[in-house]
Amino acid sequence: MKKKIGFGVAIALFALALLSTRFYMVDLPVWHILGGGDGPDPATLHLHGEFVESNLGIAKDPKGTFTVRMIAQQYVFVPQCIVVPADVPIRFRVTSADMVHMLSFLGMNYGLKAVPGAVTEATFTFAKAGEFKIPCHEFCGPGHYAMRGRLEVVSENQFPPLNPEERRNCEPR
C-alpha cells in the first residue's frame, strides 16, 4: 500500500515537472518582487527615458548585439510588429504602461511578462525564419483577447545593417 502511494506521488511530480517545463516564462527579477523596483514610471514612458516611441523596436547595441524594446498597453504592443534576424540572440526589454500583460510567441515556448513600473529582460534566439503571432497571454481587461502583436523572423542576410541610431519595425497587419 505504502509503495503504491509513493509511486502515485512520483507520477504526480513527474507530470508537474513536465507541465512546468512546457512554457518558459520570464518573470520579474526577484529584487522587484521584494520591493526594490526602480523601473520606468508607466505614466511618463512616452515622455522620456528608454521607452520613448523613437527608441522602440530593434536596435543594434555598441557591442554588436541586438536589443528589442517594447511597451505593452491596453490593448496593443508598441511596436505592433517587430522584425528580427534569425539565429542571433535577441535581447528583449519590455515594460507596461498599465496592466500586467504577457508576450507569448505562438508556436514557441517563450513568454515574457510586461509589468508596469518594471523592465523585464530576456534573451531569445529564433531559429527559423517566419511570421509568428504574439498574443497577450495574461488577462488584462475586456480587450485582452484581441491584443496581439506580430514577430517577423528573417534570415540574417535579409536583415539590412542597422546604424547605431536606427530603430527598425515592420508593418502591422
Binding residues for ligand CUA, rule: CB under 6 A, are 72, 75, 101, 136, 138-140, 144, 147
Which CB sits closer to ligand CUA, 112 or 147? 147
How far is it, in rounded angstroms, from Cα 152 to Cα 86?
Answer: 9
Phi-psi region of 154 (alpha: psi -120 to 50; beta: other; left: phi over 0): beta
Peptide bond before residue 79 is cis, with ω within 30 degrees of 0 = yes
Query: Residue 138 CB, nearest distance to ligand CUA (Å)?
Result: 5
Query: Residue 80 CB, nearest distance to ligand CUA (Å)?
Result: 13
Query: Residue 172 CB, nearest distance to ligand CUA (Å)?
Result: 16
Which residues lie closer than 8 Å to 173 by C-beta, 6 or more apart? 81, 150
Query: Residue 83 CB, nearest distance to ligand CUA (Å)?
Result: 21
Which CB sits closer to ligand CUA, 69 or 113? 113
Which CB sits closer to ligand CUA, 59 or 140? 140
| Cβ proximity of 81 and 70 under 8 Å | no
Strand, coil or helix: what is 136?
A: strand
Strands (E), the chain: 24-26, 57-60, 66-73, 76-78, 81-85, 89-96, 101-105, 110-114, 120-125, 130-135, 148-154
Query: Residue 101 CB, nearest distance to ligand CUA (Å)?
Result: 3
Which CB sits closer to ligand CUA, 86 or 148? 148
Which CB sits closer to ligand CUA, 88 or 100? 100
